[in-house]
Structure 1
């Protein structure tokens, strides 16, 4: 039996607004029942601050929490997050602190001030054809920008990850990742983050991991290029492949809902898979700087 008693998947959003249709939270227990969506406290859409409050004081005991965002930026490829910048942070927690400090006046945990920072902006690809001169750095030559080692591992599983320095296009994850780093900093260690806070998961309590919902979809039998599901029939078929009962939902669904529900079921099924906690390539230095995606092994 898993040492975790609950499993939560959070589909995140980096949009610059107070509340987000793109945030969906699903929760299940280890008893095998289908994951259920958690409504926002005011029955409106979730806010990022609302998710922060949930993580700080509203988690059920011993919850494995999956956050669908990048918990850090590439480091190993160039020996720094921002090579050539004297203030480039030494590790992921220092990076979170820097982003939160620069964006302290941005409402709703947004990260606009960081991507528009006179120095930091040089490392990002932004809207309007504004590709910073340091978006591509040797030896990283991929047109999608710099990758962390875990994103290379995702690609080896048939996924198509994008650089967290890319802020353009429907598939970009940069904005979600930067706003998520503000959330992680403001958690202040209240819930540990794997593997930033240690290669081995703690023996008890709740834990946060980075997730990539496409990995869950592929594990449920879907193709990486067709990972998104838009109705209850597709979702229930995928849930069945992971040993979960049907969702109980009907008709058309948005992919934020289906991603969260399916990935919560996937976390429950794979939480005790030792190979996922010990991926090849994950070292102490990579853990504290770049982090890792749970399941990219």
Structure 2
């Protein structure tokens, strides 16, 4: 089940307006989607997203910066009655939370729900939202973002380019150390670069590339150093390369975190497969969920 969220625009807003909850649920979710679309036009930091399952439109979610200009919030969250109880809401919530964290670096994310909405309460508690306040009709919940370890897109956080280059130069090779510059210089889907931060320090890096281009010292390659850039395959795309974790941080599953993130980003870009090579077992093809 491939769940994605895409910004609401002229191509999808009518499809989202056709979605609806059940008659019973309208007692706690009485506001139609068209209302939220109208409100978002006047809220500077509010953005709405269509929720999709594959190519089907199944719901609506939105969020942005709270009135304090610091915290994030999520509102609304709506899943069409035909697609409920399938895990879609939880996945959409995680995607929306990640979007707020990437864009605004928020310390916490707020969400409210009616007290009689027990399904919402169960979902939000499972995702880590705790009740910090309440009104006569609603519970006010908050999620505290843990920034000890996080993965950021370099395109969205170009201020980390220099530390990324330093990591790659010291712990991979000179050719690869140019990847951050190439990521920021491109307006195309590729290349993409993702950095792993721990305690506000770059400790890992991975990228998505249309083709795998290698040069210099290649791990697992028994031949001589490659003097010029070589494309390993013209037919396979995209590639995860490289996958680098600082030596002092290895053994903590950070490489797995980076790999899974790159896989998810490839899926978000519309690819069903992604490729990588390792020195031990050569080419690998990864099927995306």
- TM-score scaled by structure 1? 0.24
- TM-score scaled by structure 2? 0.24
Greater share of strand residues, 1 or 2?
A: 2
Instruction: Specify which structure has the bigger relative contact order, considering alpha-carbon pairs within 8 angstroms and separated by 6 or more residues.
Output: 1
